[in-house]
Chain A
Amino acid sequence: MAIIRTENLTYVYGDGTPFRKVAVDNVNLSIDEGEFVGVIGHTGSGKSTLIQHLNGLLQPTSGSVYIDGEKLWEDKKRLRDIRFKVGLVFQYPEYQLFEETVYKDIAFGPKNMGLSDDEIDRRIRETARMVGIKEELFDKSPFELSGGQKRRVAIAGVMAMEPKVLILDEPASGLDPKGRDKILGQIREYHKEKKNTVLLVSHSMEDVAKHAGKILVMNNASLYCYDTPVNVFAKASELSAMGLAVPQITRVFKRLDQMGCNIGEEVYTVDFAKNLMLKLLNRNNNMEE
C-alpha cells in the first residue's frame, strides 16, 4: 500500500507578487511502504519544497497529499499526529541541537509525543546504538561533540520518534568520505531493521546509486521520473542535460558501450561494474578458445 501519495500537487511561491514561482508543478506520486527512495534534482528543482509537503510544513496551493491513507490539511487538528508519522531531518541538523545533554536532546521528540519515561528511555538507547552514539556520551553537552557526532545525535532525535517515514535532506553533506559512508550505512541499517520508508535527498549520484531501491528525480518543479536505479540511470544523457551528474562509473560504461564493447547492462555501482567486467572478460576468453 502507498504510504505517501500526492495528487496533482502544486505549490506556488509568492503568488500575486512579481516573484511568483511555481516550485512544484502538478506532481502525482505514489511511494510504497518500506521503500528506500533516493531523491535527486538540481538546486531549485523543487525537491525541498516537495518534501516539506510530506509532513505538512507547507500547504499545497492546489492538489493533495495523502500519508498512510489520510489526506493532509482536511482536518488541521490531525496534522500534529501526521507529523509524528513523517520525520524530517533537515540539512545540517546539528544546528538544531539545543538541549543540555545528548540524552535530553534525543528525548525531546518522543517526550512531545507523550510517551512513558520507560518507552522514551528504550527508544533513546536503541536509536543511539543505531547511529553509533555511545552511552558514555549521554550526559555530555551536545555542543562538546564533534561535527559528525552532533549530526548523528540530531538524526537519532528524529529516529526516536519512530516515524513511519523518515526523510533526510543531504545527511552526508560536508562529511569526509569515511563519515559519509558511516552515516549512510547506519541509515541503511535502520531501514533494514525497522522496515520503515526512507527518503534520502542527495546531490551525490554515487550515494543514491549505492543505497536506494528507487530513485525519484525532480526537474524544473515537475516529477521527471520515479523508478528503479537501473531504469533511471539508463537515462544517463537526459540526466546530464538536467545538470545532474550520473555516477562516474555509469559514464565509463556508457562510453564503452558506444565504442562497441557490448556492455548490455546499466552499471551504477563499482561492485556491479567489477563483476560485470569479470564476466565480460571471461566471455571474451572463452570465445578465444
Chain B
Amino acid sequence: MCMNSFLQAENLKFSYINNIEEPPVRTEVLHGVSLDVKKGEFVALLGHNGSGKSTLAKCFNAINIADEGKVYACGFDASLEENLFPIRQRVGMVFQNPDNQIVATIVEEDVAFALENMGVEPAEIRRRVDEALKTVGMYEYRGHAPHKLSGGQKQRVAIAGILAMKPQVVLLDEPTAMLDPSGRAEVMKTIKMLKEEMCVTIVLITHYMEEAAQADRIVVIDNGSIVMDDVPKRIFSQVEKMKSIGLDVPQVTELCYLLRQQGVDLPEDIITEDECVEALSKLLLKK
C-alpha cells in the first residue's frame, strides 16, 4: 500500500443486514469504493441522505468492517481484530448530535474520558486535557457542566475529547448540522486550525456547501459509489451535475452559473464570496 495514504479503501463493499425479516435482508450500501486520503489532507465528503457517506466514514475507524475489499487506517488493516484499538486511538470521530457524545458531568472530565480508558498517567491526562481545551478555546469552561453549554461549545468539547487522544485523523459526521450560524463558524474555525497548525488529517461530512468549499478536496458519493473526486473549484463548477445528485452549490456559484447561461462573461470556477465580488465588480465598474 501507498505509504503516503493515511486512509485507504480498496474496492470496499459493505452491506447492512436486517435480521428482523425472515430470511434476513441484505442491503449493499457501498459498492466497491476506492479512496486514498493523504496525510494532512482536508477532505469534504458530500452526498445526499442515504448515499453511504457516513457508512464509509465508519469503515475508516473500524465501526463498520468491510465485507469485501480492504480498508487501511494509518497503516493498520481495519479487518483485523487486533488492530481495533490502535485504529480507534489514531482515528477519532465526532458525530452530529452534541448531546449524544458527552458522557461526564464536568467538561474536563468528559475530555479526560478516553485517556482514562487508555490508561494514561494522571499527570499526563491533566496536561493533555488542558492542552486540548485550550486548542478548541474551551479552557475557561473546564469546570462547567456540559448541559449548560451552547451547541457549538458542546461540539468543541467533543472535538477536544478526540484531540486529547492525539489522533492523526479526525472524522466529523455532520458536526454542524444541529448548530446555529455562529456555532457552525466556531466549529469550522476549529477544524481548519487542526489541519493548519496540528497537521491533523480531516474528513468532514457536511450538507453545507460553503463548508465544503473550504476543504482541499471534495469527494461526492452517490448510491454507494464515488462519482466525483476533485478540488472544490472543479466540483462546484459542475452545477447541473451537483443538482442532479441532490446536492447544491454555494449561492455565488449558482448566480455566476445563471448569469453565464444568459451570456454574461464570467469565469466558471467562482466558489467564494471574494471571487464573486471581484468578478462582478469588474463587470459593473468597467466604465
Q: How many residues of A contact B (CB 8 A)?
A: 42
A177-B247, A277-B255 known; 8 new pairs, CB 8 Å cut-off, are: A43-B183, A174-B177, A174-B207, A177-B246, A179-B49, A247-B251, A249-B251, A274-B262
Q: List B contacts of A176 (CB < 8 A).
A: 47-49, 207, 246-247
Given contacts A248-B252, A249-B251, contact A277 B49 (CB under 8 A): no
Judged by a CB distance under 8 angstroms, whether A34 is at the interface is no
Query: Smallest Cβ distance from A55 to chain B, in angstroms?
Result: 23
Q: List A contacts of B227 (CB < 8 A).
A: none
Judged by a CB distance under 8 angstroms, whether A214 is at the interface is no
A270 to B150, CA, bound (A): 31
Judged by a CB distance under 8 angstroms, whether A112 is at the interface is no
Query: Smallest Cβ distance from B137 to chain A, in angstroms?
Result: 16
Question: Do A251 and B273 touch across chains, with their CB atoms under 8 A apart?
Answer: yes
Query: Smallest Cβ distance from B46 to chain A, in angstroms?
Result: 9
Given contacts A179-B49, A259-B281, A270-B254, contact A252 B247 (CB under 8 A): no
Query: In the complex, what residue of chain B is closest to A263 when comparing beta carbons?
Result: B284
Q: List B contacts of A42 (CB < 8 A).
A: 180-182
Q: How many residues of B contact A (CB 8 A)?
A: 42
Judged by a CB distance under 8 angstroms, whether B118 is at the interface is no
Query: Smallest Cβ distance from B283 to chain A, in angstroms?
Result: 6
Given contacts A42-B182, A259-B285, contact A270 B49 (CB under 8 A): no
Contact with B along A74-93 (1 / 0, CB 8 A): 00000000000000000000
Q: List A contacts of B248 (CB < 8 A).
A: 177
A119 to B266, CA, bound (A): 56
Given contacts A42-B182, A252-B277, A252-B280, contact A178 B50 (CB under 8 A): no
Question: Do B177 and A173 touch across chains, with their CB atoms under 8 A apart?
Answer: yes
Q: List A contacts of B193 (CB < 8 A).
A: none
Given contacts A176-B49, A278-B262, contact A288 B273 (CB under 8 A): no
Query: In the complex, what residue of chain A is closest to B261 when comparing beta carbons?
Result: A274
Question: Do A252 and B181 touch across chains, with their CB atoms under 8 A apart?
Answer: no
Query: Interface centre among A206, A248, A256, A260, by most B CB within 10 Å?
Result: A248
Contact of A281 among B152, B185, B283 (CB under 8 A): B283
A12 to B240, CA, bound (A): 50
Judged by a CB distance under 8 angstroms, whether A69 is at the interface is no
Given contacts A43-B180, A203-B180, A252-B276, contact A175 B207 (CB under 8 A): yes
Judged by a CB distance under 8 angstroms, whether A56 is at the interface is no
A284 to B286, CA, bound (A): 8
Q: List A contacts of B180 (CB < 8 A).
A: 42-43, 203, 243
Query: What are 17 A-B interface contacts by the 8 Å CB criterion?
Result: A42-B182, A146-B50, A173-B178, A176-B207, A178-B247, A203-B180, A205-B181, A206-B251, A243-B180, A243-B181, A252-B255, A252-B280, A262-B284, A273-B255, A274-B262, A278-B259, A284-B283
